[in-house]
Every structure is written in C-alpha cells, then in structure tokens.
Amino acid sequence: MGALPLELIELIVDELRSDYHDLRSCSLVCKSLVSRSSKHLFRSFRVPNPYYNHAALLHFCDSVLSSERMSTSIEVLDVTVDPSTLAKVALLLEHLPALQSLTVSATVLDRRAYPPATPSVKRHVEHLRIRAVPMDIVAYFLGGFASAGSLDIHRCTGKAGPVPHTYRVKRLAILGWDGPALREVSRLVEPSTLESILLDLPVNYPTPSAGDVNHFFHVLGAHIRELEYRMDPFFKEILLGTPALRACPLLKSFNITARREARFDHASWRAILGPLSSLPPGVRAVRLRTNCGALREAQDARDVLRTLDWNAVGRALQHLNTLEHLQIEACDFNCDSIDLARDRDVQDDILGKLPGHLRSRIVFK
C-alpha cells in the first residue's frame, strides 16, 4: 500500500478497522474508489486459502463481476479454490478479458467433490500455473482456454480422465511429479506447439520410472528446442537417458541442474554428467550447474570443483559437433551462486582438464 496516496490509505484502513478482514468490506472500499482510482490498483489480486477466508473469494468474485472497470483491469490472479468456489471462479474467468496470468491451488484433492462445469474462456492466457491439485483439475482449467504461453504444473497427481483434445502450450514446466502424472500431461498437451520443457524432481517426491520419462518425451519431445532438467543426485539414478533425449531431434539448448542435496560426492557428479552423452547431435548450447550443497563455505565449494572429473565432460560432449556454448555454474550450501567468472584459479584448473576443442567455448558464471 506504500505507493498509494495517503488519503486513499487512510480511507481503506478506516473502512477495514482490522488487519484481518473479510473481503466483503474490502470490496465496498473498492467499489467506492472505482470511479476515481487508477486502473493499476486492480491489476493484480491474490485471494488466499479459503479454509481461512472462504467467504472472501466469493465476495471478491461478486465484486469483480459487478464492476466492469475491475473486471477489465485484472491481469494477474492467484486463487485457492475448493468445491464450493470452483464454479464461481470458472464464471469469473469468463469476464476477465485482460487476464494474462492465472495461478490456481486447491484445498480438496478429491475430484469427485468438484462440480463438472468447465470455464469457457476460449482465448489465450500467457501464464497458467496450477498447484497441488488432481490432474483432472489441471485439465479442467487448461480446457477453459484456447491456448497458453506457459503451463506450470506443481505437485499434481492422479489421472486427468477423458481428454477431448490436446491443448496448445509453448512452454511446459512440471515441478514435483510422479509417473502417472507425467503420462497424463503427455495426453493433455499438443506436441506440435511445444517449444520448451522444464522437469524438476524434488528429493521428497515419489520417483517416476525411466519408462515414464521415456514415454513422456516420445509423445512430447519431437518439436522442443529447449530442455531444462533439475535432478537431485540423491537418487544416483539417471532417469533422463538415451531413449528420452533421442526423442528430441530438434533440441538446441540443454540445461542440467543438480539440486541441493544432503551430501555431495563424485557419484552424484557422474549422475549429473550421464545425460550429456545422450544429447542429440544438433545441440548448440549446454548449461551445467552443480551444487556443492554440503559445503558451508564458498572456498570449500571451489576446492571441490577443482577435484571433479572435468575430462568426463569433454568425453560426454565429444559427439556434439555443433556445440557453440558450454556454460559452467556452481552454487554453495546456501544455494548462492559462486562467482566463477572472477576466479582465475578455478577456471585454470577446470580448463586444464577439458579437451582443447572445448576450451574456447566455455563460459564461467
């Protein structure tokens, strides 16, 4: 609220009279200000967990639906739905012509509790993020839009049910996934429009099989240009192998990140390098980010970097005749980046272990 005029802040505080409030009161304030306030006041809204603020979401929807200025101003919306609010949110989405970014979370994971209606927006949304819901709720919201610039799916599980057709998405990010959910996503997304994929597997999440990963890429990998794979070396298992990567013949850029882990060792390093040897030959850029997670001091992390088998990187990438750019990054115990660009000693140690043809293509960050 700090950027608002003082008179406006005083009016809102006087109306609410409390730090904790029902959005019903807030909506009254909004209505009184609609004719005088900048449209930017209504550009972005976040309505929290309805377990604690159930009525707030309903009052918010009613307020927006009754105000053309609010409904035409909202570009960013973050809501948490339950069975009693889903239909109202679906109706609201049909009246937000400027909406560019939608984030949806759920408090009830049983799909049978939700109404069958689907939003009918039928236009493009730039960013659709869906968190901690059953996969058929993902299909529910994705089906309401004609297309999405990016689709982020966080910790969604289960099956999507019948899918009438695939949906156009350019950038797909899946964070926290299991095997069934991965297969369901491959049923939802149109392969021919997909350009970029990010897969992130946290350590405390059910692990899919290599077969699930292979199936996912065989369905969706044919047209992608960019792939980012965040793996936790704790598993010491290479899920992203030759069958999956060879299903991406147009791939040009590959990023692999080792997530923070309890203990850093050389077996973890070998697991990180595994997918590099399976990259399709047309890849032009590789970004390799390792995490010295068990080391509390940046200097200790630098010492570990010096001992790694960097010659193995050269062997893994020797089949990439079109490689133009190899970016090397590292971070410490706090996941803060280590400034390799200014550390000539570490650079010299790493370059000395790489084959000559790669040295001119290395970028340290």
Domain contains 266: yes
Domain contains 304: yes
Write down the pLDDT at residue 238. Answer: 62
Domain contains 247: no
Domain contains 326: yes
User: Residue 210: what are its φ and ψ, rounded to 5°?
Assistant: -60, -30
Average pLDDT over residues 27-49: 57
Tens of pLDDT, residue by residue over 333-344, are: 666 778 888 888
CA terminus-to-terminus distance, the chain = 37
Domain contains 73: no
Domain contains 86: no
What count of other Cβ atoms lies within 10 Å of the Cβ of residue 52? 9
Tokens of 146: 């004609």
The full DSSP string for 325-347 is EEEEEEE-TTSPBP-GGG-HHHH
DSSP summary character for residue 143: T
What's the rounded Cα separation, in Å, for the pair 237 and 251?
Answer: 23
Tens of pLDDT, residue by residue over 64-123, are: 888 787 788 888 888 888 877 888 888 888 889 999 999 988 776 566 666 665 666 678
Give me the percent of the chain exceeding a pLDDT of 70.
Answer: 72
What's the rounded Cα separation, in Å, for the pair 312 and 354?
Answer: 8
Write down the pLDDT at residue 280. Answer: 94
Cβ atoms of 340 and 328 closer than 8 Å: yes
The pTM assigned to this predicted structure is 0.83
Write down the pLDDT at residue 172. Answer: 96
Domain contains 306: yes
Domain contains 228: no
Phi-psi sector, 248: left (phi>0), alpha (psi -120 to 50), beta: beta
What count of other Cβ atoms lies within 10 Å of the Cβ of residue 112? 8
Domain count, the chain: 1
pLDDT beyond 50 at 1: no
Residue 44: pLDDT band by 50, 70, 90 thresholds? confident
Residue 267 belongs to domain spanning: 252-365
